Structure 1
Amino acid sequence: MLMLLMLGGALGGCATTQAGPNSLADRDPHEEFNRDIWSANQAADGAVIRPVSDVYRAVAPRPARRGISNFLRNLGEPWSFINNLLQGHPDRAIRNLGRFIVNTTVGVGGLADVATEIGIEPAPEDFGQTLAVWGVGDGGYRVVPLLGPTTGRDLVGSIVGFIADPATIFLDTRVGLSTQELWGLRGVSIIDTRANLSESGADAFLETSADPYAAARSAYFQQREADILNLDPASLGESEDAAFEAAFDDLDEAGGEDGNFGPPPADEADFPGSDEAIEPGGTTPETTPELPYEESAFLFGQENAPYPH
């Protein structure tokens, strides 16, 4: 499927990835196998997830979907809080805590994103980003069946998040949700994320790309590098690209290579793909769609995806 997603910023329409000693092809040593998995995932998405999400969009009113997206996003704040502390960003952790308290109380359990309205901006983090900040290398690009694009490092981060996420633990031990109910919540998260993706224009991005696999791979690395550095890819202009790459070079030298949740459904927008041809395995820069954080998760990897991890 585009990837079963992605249980998680915007990608900048101008950000690019250049070939070099750390080119995308070098970081994708299992490309032939990855492409096979990518094709299978896309087929599964077209056969199951996308049709179900289309029904969800047709049946559920937009305000209801907005509330569900906000609720799922709020469940991710405690895990982001922990990861911001582990990364040494107490200021961002305070934002996570503030958002969780405000949205859980004034926002009626997270159904309304009051925190953003009063100026407490999201600060999403995951354990894959934490490992990168600690200097762990990316471990190579991988496409996982039903989960989509990731790296060795981010896959470990997702597994840790799946086990250690406070929201999951609380719902299990304190609220008393059964295993079936927890998986049902994950299913809602999957469908909600896919529905928002359909409205974001990201499908057109892949459909108009000469090589969708290479486009998604390039976008995945751009998004993850921006996530790790707490940058806003959408704000990167040509003059800022050099600073972006230089900052990430510093992270490479330290050892790295390289639960924000469903936002309000995106308004219709035009996100064209790159007009440049892409050779399979090549590193031709792609123009990427400007997506809300959770939609980029669905398209570019589960690390960015909404709850549960």
Structure 2
Amino acid sequence: MTSRAPTPFVAVVALSLISGGCATVPGQDRLAARDPLEKFNRGVWGVNQAADKVVIKPVTKVYRAVAPKPVRSGVSNFFSNVSEPWSFVNNLLQGKPKRAMQNFGRFLVNTTIGVGGLFDVASKKGIDPAPEDFGQTLARWGVNGGPYLVLPLLGPSTLRDGVGSAVAWGADPVNVGIREADVPNKAALGYRGAYVIDARSQLIDSGADAFLKSSLDPYATARSAYLQRRRSAIMDQENALDAGPPDEEEPMGESAAMPADGNLTEPTPAANGSEVGAPPVAEGAAPAAGPAPTADPAPAPTEPPK
């Protein structure tokens, strides 16, 4: 999930559930340990849901009624495109120049050939998205996620992601451009309102809206989806299910600090002389070609990879 500014709760839940495949995970008791402020959070969750029911969802339904699907797709593509500069900055801060160049390439192609980002030409040309936000950057720098929070109108978050959203508000190139260009307040509010409505529309399209409604505990479902999605995003995994259950804190050690594209690391020899990350050699398979041994040592016992 890319951070352009503090994100209204429907957008967070929408993108979390969409990206996470509407998945739920076991271990709710352990997951609740990350939510020491649950009583407060549930109260805020209720207020947010009321705001959605009274204002956001009705406006979204009108938008969907008057805007055909190609128009809605163009709006979604536009907001995705304007997030690329901030993703570019965060990929550089995380030491991921390859992914940063993907952001640069996507923004250049979609802004020009894609008519201001209305069409996602970059994906058709094989330039995949590489979204990053400052919350992910803080995680890569070793900052603990802290307690789970539900923020008024901003929705699911953590203490770390809340700080990341505040930084995005001040440093995101889009927000900086709005301030420097002295955009009228009404226009700026209209821009942010359009983003919220677009995210809410995506929630309906994904089926996650109905899924959340049918859940026995929508609050716990949204919490699980958010934490699982954030874990997978920090680990640069496309599918939230690949990241494992979110009942544990994101790995803050070597695995989290190491860029997924390997820009900052060199392969390290393993105990058996192979490189870490190399495909395991099946037991009894012939070794790869290399320098011939000086003697014929007795075959050492092997163990299957753990």
Q: Considering the TM-score relative to the shorter chain, is it more than 0.5?
A: yes
Deviation at 1:251, TM superposition (A): 2.1
Supply the distance in 2 between the matched residues of 1:152 and 1:255 (Cα, whole angstroms): 21
Q: Which residue of 1 aligns with 2:153?
A: 146
Aligned equivalent of 2:233:
227
Are residues 1:107 and 2:114 paired?
yes
8 Å CA contact 1:28, 1:142 repeated in 2: yes
Distance 2:100 2:255 in 1: 24
Equivalent residue runs for 1:29-178 within 5 Å: 29-174=36-181, 176-178=182-184
The aligned counterpart of 1:11 is 20
Instruction: Tell me which of 194, 203, 208 is aligned to 1:197.
Output: 203
Q: Which structure would you say has the larger Rg?
A: 2
Note the C-alpha offset of 1:64: 1.4
| Alignment partners' CA distance in 2, 1:220 and 1:187 | 22
Deviates more, 1:198-207 or 1:44-53: 198-207
Q: Deviations over 1:221-255 (max 9, x none)?
A: 10000010000225x4xxx56xx469x87824479
Contact 1:2 1:45 in 2 (8 A): no
Q: Which amino acid in structure 1 is aligned with residue 47 of structure 2?
A: A
- The aligned counterpart of 2:251 is 251
- Structure-2 residue corresponding to 1:261: none
Give the drift of 1:3.
Answer: 2.2
User: Alignment partner of 2:149: what SS?
Assistant: strand
Aligned residue identity for 2:251: L
d(CA) in 1 for partners of 2:135, 2:59 = 29
* 1:128 shift after superposition: 0.4
Partner letter of residue 251 of structure 1? P
SS in 2 for 1:97: helix
State the alpha-carbon separation in 1 of the partners of residues 212 and 219 from structure 2: 8
- Alpha carbons of 1:164 and 1:196: their partners in 2 closer, same or farther (altered >3 Å)? same
Q: Which runs of 4+ in 1 moved over 6 A?
A: none
* Structure 1 residues 134 and 168, CA gap change in structure 2 (3 angstroms): same
Deviates more, 1:37-46 or 1:8-17: 8-17
Q: CA RMSD in A?
A: 2.7
Aligned residue type for 2:66: V
Q: SS in structure 2 opposite 1:24?
A: helix
1:14 is displaced (CA, Å) by 5.6
Deviation, 1:2, is 8.1
Question: What are the Cα deviations for residues 149-185 of structure 1, in whole angstroms up to 9, with x where unaligned?
Answer: 10000000001001100122224325x4223211210
Aligned AA for 1:74? Answer: N
Q: Which has the higher contact order (CA 8 A, sep 6+)?
A: 1
**2:25 touches 2:245 (CA, 8 Å); kept in 1?**
no
Alpha-carbon distance change, 198 to 210 in structure 1, aligned in 2, over 3 angstroms:
same
Identity %: 52
Cα separation, partners in 2 of 1:4 and 1:211, compared to 1, 3 Å: closer
**Structure 1: runs of 5 or more not aligned:** 257-309
The 2-side partners of 1:185 and 1:12 are apart by 28
Q: Distance in 1 between matches of 2:22 and 2:48?
A: 25
TM-score normalized with structure 1 length: 0.73
How does the TM-score come out when normalised to structure 2? Answer: 0.74
- Please tell me whether the aligned partners of residues 172 and 178 of structure 1 are also in contact (alpha carbons under 8 angstroms): no
Judging changes above 3 Å, is the alpha-carbon distance between structure 1 residues 49 and 245 closer, same or farther for their aligned structure 2 residues? Answer: closer
Counterparts in 2 of 1:137 and 1:17: CA distance versus 1, 3 Å: farther
Aligned to 1:212: 218
* Aligned-partner residue type, residue 25 of structure 2: T
